[in-house]
A = this chain, B = another copy of it.
Amino acid sequence: MSQVLVVRLPIRTRYAETDMMQYIHHSVYPVYFEAARTELLRSIGVSYRALEEQGILLPVMELGVKFFHPAYYDDELEIEARYQPRRRALIRLDYVVWREQQRLAEGFTTHLFVDKQARRAMKPPQFFWDAVQKALEGQHATV
């Protein structure tokens, strides 16, 4: 089975995000990924803000980005976030930065669920798997 959850978040690049090379600085892409990640979670009914309020963190364990073409100031981008659920502690998301049909960059992040109080890794909470399952079924239903 290769069911995948996907969202696309439109982002207009900001002047402050440019550098003297005229490019959107490479350190901004993880910030875009994060914004898309928030939307992907929201799309399956999980508020990352509420998650932290319940004492659960989802820090980044690993980050990778490949840059194919620069983005510029005032570009209208779309940040695609994809999550192919696997029953593992380590969560991996993949990203593509689009400007219209052009693939500007690709990346991924991995995450562990962390107990905020104990500052220790924990298993993904059951309500997370339930939300994922429900979202995948919802996708199915609409097909």
Contacts and interface: CB of A to CB of B under 8 A. Distances in A.
B67 A65 contact: no
A126 B21 CA distance: 22
A57 B57 CA distance: 23
A115 interface: no
Secondary structure class of chain A's binding surface, majority of residues: mixed
A52 B20 contact: yes
A3 interface: no
Contacts of A59: 21, 23, 26, 67, 70
A100 interface: no
A57 B59 CA distance: 24
Q: Which of A14, A48, A61 has the most CB of B within 10 A?
A: A14
Nearest to A58: B21
Interface residues of A, number: 37
A27 B14 CA distance: 12
A52 B72 CA distance: 12
Interface in A15-30: 15-16, 18-23, 25-28, 30
Given A15-B35, A63-B67, 20 more contacts: A12-B35, A14-B34, A14-B38, A16-B25, A16-B30, A19-B19, A20-B20, A26-B30, A26-B59, A27-B30, A27-B31, A30-B30, A49-B72, A49-B73, A49-B74, A60-B67, A61-B66, A62-B65, A62-B66, A63-B65
